[in-house]
């Protein structure tokens, strides 16, 4: 496969403390593959935090991708019917988004993008970042691990002492996970050592 022709969607959810690393991962993804379509949840599109403003994040995404950000359910819905993507990455995938995906809730631009994309039987890559991955979000993680066409970026505990239930993916492995997912394979090892 010519990786430079791959149509990648890259969706951001509201794990704001990981947003800088997610932007770096977007840059790596755009450098390795073809056109990247940026997508954000409504929370990301509207929330200013100590990690940066919504406007700054959106502007940086558009700079990296050279295209407008999809930020509404209505804008995300055509992804499926028009077959706009070969693969969709959700990074960071929060516990909230993980729960919605596990239970079929489609009420954000990101969850609509995922639903629309999965209807075509194409890979969905999740880069989780959730403080309760080994607690309240654990059942949803288990559900998504068993879903067809869903692949996870290798993840581990990011702070096993101060936040023992917290899980975060290694965002630097997103491009390799995308390539493996396009081959129908889960990148291994999936579980990383303690950080």
Cis bond upstream, residue 178 (ω within 30): no
- Model pLDDT for residues 63-107, shown as the tens digit of each residue: 999 999 999 999 999 999 999 999 999 999 999 999 999 999 999
Per-residue pLDDT of the chain (195 residues; tens, 9 = 90+): 788 999 999 999 987 788 889 999 999 999 999 889 999 999 988 888 888 888 999 999 999 999 999 999 999 999 999 999 999 999 999 999 999 999 999 999 999 999 999 999 999 999 999 999 999 999 999 999 999 999 999 999 988 899 999 999 999 999 999 999 999 999 999 999 754
Amino acid 35: pLDDT:
85
Amino acid 28: pLDDT:
97
Distance, CA of 33 to CA of 180 (rounded, Å): 13
Amino acid 194: pLDDT:
54
Distance, CA of 149 to CA of 151 (rounded, Å): 7
pTM (predicted TM-score): 0.95
Burial 149-177 (b: 16+ CB within 10 A, else e): bbbbbbbbbbeeeeeeebbbbbbebbbeb
- Determine the length of the chain: 195
Record the tokens describing residue 11, joined without a space.
Answer: 């969706």
Amino acid 16: pLDDT:
77
């Amino acid at each position: 496969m010519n990786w430079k022709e791959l149509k990648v969607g890259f969706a951001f959810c509201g794990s704001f403390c990981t947003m800088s690393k997610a932007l770096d991962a977007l840059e790596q993804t755009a450098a390795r593959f073809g056109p990247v379509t940026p997508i954000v949840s409504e929370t990301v599109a509207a929330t200013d935090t100590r990690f940066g403003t919504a406007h700054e994040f959106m502007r940086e995404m558009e700079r990296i991708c050279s295209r407008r950000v999809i930020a509404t359910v209505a804008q995300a819905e055509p992804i499926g019917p028009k077959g706009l993507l070969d693969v969709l990455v959700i990074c960071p995938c929060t516990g909230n988004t993980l729960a919605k995906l596990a239970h079929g809730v489609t009420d954000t631009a990101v969850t609509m993008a995922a639903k629309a994309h999965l209807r075509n039987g194409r890979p969905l890559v999740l880069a989780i970042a959730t403080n309760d991955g080994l607690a309240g979000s654990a059942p949803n993680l288990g559900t998504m691990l068993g879903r067809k066409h869903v692949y996870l970026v290798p993840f581990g505990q990011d702070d096993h002492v101060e936040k023992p239930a917290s899980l975060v993916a290694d965002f630097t492995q997103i491009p390799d996970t995308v390539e493996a997912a396009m081959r129908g394979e889960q990148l291994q090892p999936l579980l990383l050592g303690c950080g």
